[in-house]
Amino acid sequence: MSDQSTPEAPNAETAEREGISRRRLLGTAGATGLVLGAAGGATGYAAAPSTAAAPLTSLGSGRAMFHGKHQPGITDPMQASGHLVAFDLAAGAGRKEAAALLRRWSDTARRLMSGEPAGTRDTDVARDSGPSSLTVTFGFGYSFFGRTGLEGQRPVALDPLPDFSSDHLDKNRSNGDLWVQIGADDSLVAFHALRAIQRDAGAAARVRWQMNGFNRSPGATARPMTARNLMGQVDGTRNPKPSEADFDRRIFVPEQPGRNDRAWMANGSYAVVRRIRMLLDDWEKLSLKGQEDVIGRRKSDGAPLSGGGETTEMDLEKTDEAGNLVVPINAHARITRPDQNGGAAMVRRPFSYHDGFDADGVPDAGLLFICWQADPLRGFVPVQRKLDRGDALSQFIRHEASGLFAVPGGAAEGEYVGQRLLEA
C-alpha cells in the first residue's frame, strides 16, 4: 500500500525463476506510527498469456539458489504462500548451540530449496512436489547477541525501533532471538519447510511466534501485473529495482575492506517485520472516491489521481477546477514517496494474512509487512515517522506486532548462514 513497490515484475521467461547519534535519532523519532507505505507494498508475478494450458509441472519447477552473495527471499519474486516464525534460544543454550542450529537449518534449507527431502526424518509432505521457488531466510534479533555472548558484534543498526504513536503491539508476537522467513509457490512445500525448520530446532530453541501469509499465485492473471492487497488496492508500484544503480547501496550492507567489526553483515540486510491489521469493515464503508483519495491512486489500475498509467510520475502540484490538490496532501502515496522522505527507500516484500474473525465478527486480516534496507534508520524509520504525522490511511490500519532482524549475507558453498559471526 505504499508508493514504493517490490522488485520489478518479471516477464514470462523469468517467471520460471532460476554524524548524528543513531540512538539520539531513534530516541527522538518518538511519536510516529502507522506504516502501510513504509509498510505495505506487494507486487505479484504472473506468467504471460498463452494459447496452451501451462504444464502441471511448471509451478513446481521454479528454483531459487540457497548459496550466493545474498540470502534468498530478499530480491526473489514474491511467492504465493509464506510463513514467518521467530524462535528464542532455550534456557542454557548459547553460542555453541546456536552455531549447531544454524548449521542444521542451513543444510535443511539447501536441501529443500533444491527439491530434495529434508533428511532422514523427512515427513513426505512435499514428496510429490518440485522446489516451487522455495526460499528460506534467517535473521538475528537484538536479544540473540546477549544470549550468545556476542554483544560486541551486535550492529548499532539493530538498536530497537522507536515507539510509534499508533502502535498496538503484542509483545508475545514481536521480536525474538532468531527469525525465519519461508516462501514458496505451493502451500504444501511452504508448510513442509516450516515443519522441518521447527523440528530441526530440537532442544536448542522454542517457537516464540509464527504467522502465515499468502499472495497471488503465479499465472493467476493474464499478464504480469502488480498485485492487489486485501483492501483491493493495486499495491506496489515504486519499489527500488535491482536494475537501479544505487539499489545495492540502499538495500544491502556494503563490504568494507580493512574493517573487521561487523564484517559478518557484509552483503546482508535488515528486515523490519510488522503485522498490520486492516480495519476492513471501516474501509469498505468508504465510497470508491473516498478510498482513492486516501491512497492517492485509482483503484482500477493503480494510476496516480493526477493522471496517466500506473507507472506515470505523480504530479503533486496538479489541482482541480476548484483549486484543490488532485492528490490530497495526506494521501498515502504522496507521503511515502522517497522524494518526500529524503530519499528513504526499502524493498517491501509482504504477505497478506487472514486469521479468521474476532468475537464481534470483525475480520482479523491485513498485511505481514516485511521490508529490507541497508539501514533501518535511513529506510523504514523516516517513512514511518512521516506517515504518523498525517497519513490518511492510518485510521484504517493498526500495527499489532513488530520485529527488527539482522539478516547476514548469503552462505558460500560449504558454509552455513551466520558462520562468520558465530565462528569469528
Catalytic center residues? 235
Residue whose C-alpha cell reads 504471460 in the numeric block: 48
Query: Which cell is 313 given?
Result: 510520475
Burial per residue of 71-92, b for 16 or more beta-carbon CB atoms within 10 angstroms, e otherwise = bbbbbbbbbbbbbbbbbbbbee
Q: Where are the beta strands (DSSP E) in 222-375?
A: 269-278, 347-348, 351-357, 363-373
Report d(CA 333, CA 314) in Å as an integer. Answer: 9
For residue 133, give every residue at least 6 positions away whose Cβ sits within 8 Å of its Cβ, in sequence order, or none.
17, 62, 63, 64, 76, 77, 79, 183, 184, 185
Beta bridge partners of 274: 369, 402
Query: Which cell is 156 given?
Result: 548499532
Distance of CA 263 to the CA centre of its chain: 24
Q: Assign 3-class secondary structure to 318-355.
A: CECCCCCECCCCCCHHHHCCHHHCCCCCCEECCEEEEE
- Residue of 260, 204, 215, 216 whose CA lies nearest to 83: 215
Distance of CA 2 to the CA centre of its chain: 13
Q: What are the backbone dihedrals phi and psi of residue 340, each rounded to the nearest 5 degrees, phi first?
A: -100, 5
- Degrees, nearest 5: CA angle 398-401-407: 130
Report d(CA 141, CA 1) in Å as an integer. Answer: 26
- Residue of 343, 345, 22, 19 whose CA lies nearest to 158: 22
- Residue of 209, 188, 187 whose CA lies nearest to 198: 209
Sign of the alpha-carbon torsion through 117, 119, 125, 127: positive
